[in-house]
Amino acid sequence: MRAVRPAYLDLGHDQLRERAIIALEGLRDCQACPRRCRVNRLDDHWSACKTGRYAVVSSWYPHLGEEDCLRGWNGSGTIFFGHCSLRCAYCQNWDISQGLRPGPDTPGVTPAQLAGMMIGLQERGCHNINLVTPEHVVPQMLEALAHAVEWGLNIPLVYNTSGYDSLETLHLLDGVVDIYMPDFKCWSPERARRDLKAADYPRVTRAAVRAMHRQVGPLVISADGLAIGGLLVRHLVLPGALDETRAILTWIASELGPSTYINLMGQYRPAGRVRTAGFPDLARRIGAGELTEAFAIAHELGLERLDTASWRRSDPAALADL
């Protein structure tokens, strides 16, 4: 396997520490995510993201369930951060994104502890460090990354995000992140207001994904099948919402181009508030036919770099028909 030099090593340790200092100072009047709550998180206050001075980590391990180009044969070194800036009604990780209560039962981790997790995952042979739901803890992540680089971290960094990212935060990540992996959840403000409690999500995500694409370009996969840099867009196909899927894929095709690598995910299941708060249209799994139609829309639009793992799991026979 060819060694890959991560972007943050080219950026240099001094520049990385300077980025961390700037980002941490921003916590004093926090605008780290598009909510722009402006609380002083350095004094351990919190608002929408329920996270104060230190990031909460719910779990970290070599993840074998990610895309093939990320998990490889040893797994993607996944660090799941607790809490979130969004309030997705159907969140598959609701227990850690919204169910956690801030306080002594959910203590944050120090920069050294977070850096140690990164090094530990590298030592276990993981192909990358995969930061899940990092939008609200980018300052803490940069602070830890500076430590980890001093201790020998040298594998690619994956920024695994909801897509609800501020442009200012993404600017601080330019030259730091190797692989951006945003979700693009929905297109219409009405659905975003209802499902995510963020009517501005579609507008914010369009701007964020454009910025990510400008930074890293299309996804590059090495000869041994591993992603080494670039953009990978995920879209969870929702029941009865192929109009949203079409709008998102149309935008990707026109704005980012046919070389964009896309994972159309078919694993939706009713979760989170869907089970209790009255979302009748979301109270079922998607059918194999809906996922097949989503792939047909992508092909119709000229999008050919499609991850097929979800499709293989849900309807193996359909894959052979295209």
- The answer to whether the beta carbons of residues 257 and 218 sit under 8 Å apart is yes
User: How far is it, in rounded angstroms, from Cα 194 to Cα 205?
Assistant: 16
- Mean residue pLDDT of the chain comes to 93
Calculate mean pLDDT across residues 131-144: 98
Q: Rounded to 10 degrees, what is the CA torsion of 18, 23, 28, 29?
A: 130
Backbone angles phi, psi at 165, to 5 degrees: -120, 145
Half-sphere exposure of 56 (CA within 13 A, CB side): 22
What is the per-residue pLDDT across 304-321, written as a single tens digit (0 to 9) for each?
Answer: 999 987 556 555 444 444
Give the model's pLDDT for residue 317: 47
pLDDT of residue 303 exceeding 90, the answer is: yes
At 276, is the pLDDT very low, low, confident or very high (cuts 50, 70, 90)? confident
Give the model's pLDDT for residue 96: 86
Gyration radius of the chain's alpha carbons: 19
- The answer to whether the beta carbons of residues 134 and 84 sit under 8 Å apart is no
Give the model's pLDDT for residue 95: 84
pLDDT of residue 197 exceeding 50, the answer is: yes
Give the model's pLDDT for residue 58: 94
Please say whether the dihedral angle defined by the alpha carbons of residues 180, 183, 188 and 190, taken in this order, is positive or negative. negative
Give the model's pLDDT for residue 312: 60
pLDDT of residue 275 exceeding 80, the answer is: no
User: How far is it, in rounded angstroms, from Cα 66 to Cα 234?
Assistant: 11
Calculate mean pLDDT across residues 123-130: 98
Give the model's pLDDT for residue 105: 74
User: How far is it, in rounded angstroms, from Cα 168 to Cα 283?
Assistant: 37
Other Cβ atoms less than 10 A from the Cβ of 199: the count is 15
User: How far is it, in rounded angstroms, from Cα 137 to Cα 143?
Assistant: 10
Give the model's pLDDT for residue 213: 98
Domains located in the chain, CATH noted: 7-319 (3.20.20.70)
Burial of 115 (0-12, 13-18, 19+ CB in 10 A): buried
User: How far is it, in rounded angstroms, from Cα 322 to Cα 313?
Assistant: 16
- The answer to whether the beta carbons of residues 262 and 303 sit under 8 Å apart is yes
Give the model's pLDDT for residue 311: 57
User: How far is it, in rounded angstroms, from Cα 320 to Cα 269?
Assistant: 25
User: How far is it, in rounded angstroms, from Cα 162 to Cα 152?
Assistant: 29
Burial of 241 (0-12, 13-18, 19+ CB in 10 A): buried
CA distances from 86 to 47, 82, 133, 164, 281 (A): 12, 12, 10, 8, 20
Give the model's pLDDT for residue 249: 98
Burial of 162 (0-12, 13-18, 19+ CB in 10 A): buried
Calculate mean pLDDT across residues 206-233: 97
What is the per-residue pLDDT across 63-82, written as a single tens digit (0 to 9) for each?
Answer: 999 999 999 999 999 999 99
At 3, is the pLDDT very low, low, confident or very high (cuts 50, 70, 90)? low
pLDDT of residue 322 exceeding 60, the answer is: no
What is the per-residue pLDDT across 220-250, written as a single tens digit (0 to 9) for each?
Answer: 999 999 999 999 999 999 999 999 999 999 9
What is 236-265 written as a DSSP string?
EPPTT-HHHHHHHHHHHHHHT-TT-EEEEE
User: How far is it, in rounded angstroms, from Cα 39 to Cα 103?
Assistant: 17
More confident position, 4 or 303: 303
pLDDT of residue 104 exceeding 90, the answer is: no
